[in-house]
């Protein structure tokens, strides 16, 4: 079950920026920033941001692969293995 992110007002971030950033870094959880009661931003640690970016890149690769498969433009497993072996042999 996913943990609910912390939610803090922008004024708290402005007054306690160092401790809020440390909380995001140490917990690995996002912190939602609100302004006038509305969510306006999300604070993530660098590690969590990079993990999120890698996950997004992988999802894009999978989506491209699925599109190639549906359009019959993909490569066979044997051709991919042969190409990989040739690259490794160099």
Same domain for 39 and 65? no
In a domain, 68, yes or no: yes
pLDDT by residue (tens digit) across 44-68?
999 999 999 999 988 888 888 888 8
Q: Give the confidence band of 20 by pLDDT, cuts at 50, 70, 90.
A: very high
Same domain for 58 and 84? yes
Q: 46 Cβ partners below 8 Å, 6+ apart?
A: 25
In a domain, 1, yes or no: no
pLDDT by residue (tens digit) across 34-47?
999 999 999 999 99
Helices and strands in the chain, H and E counts = 4, 3
Same domain for 35 and 56? no
pTM of the shown model = 0.67
Q: Give the confidence band of 2 by pLDDT, cuts at 50, 70, 90.
A: low
Same domain for 34 and 61? no
Q: Burial, 24: exposed, middle or buried (Cβ in 10 Å; 0-12, 13-18, 19+)?
A: buried
CA distances from 26 to 34, 46, 87 (A): 21, 11, 41
Q: How many domains does the chain have?
A: 2
C-alpha to C-alpha distance for 38 and 18, rounded to whole angstroms: 22
- Domain range enclosing 21: 6-44
């Amino acid at each position: 079950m996913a943990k609910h992110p912390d939610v803090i007002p922008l004024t708290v971030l402005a007054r306690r920026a160092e401790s809020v950033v440390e909380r995001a870094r140490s917990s690995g959880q996002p912190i939602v920033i609100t302004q006038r009661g509305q969510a306006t931003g999300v604070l993530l640690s660098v590690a969590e941001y990079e993990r999120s970016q890698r996950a997004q890149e992988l999802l894009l690769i999978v989506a491209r692969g699925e599109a190639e498969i549906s359009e019959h433009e993909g490569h066979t497993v044997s051709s991919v293995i042969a190409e990989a072996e040739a690259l490794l042999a160099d």
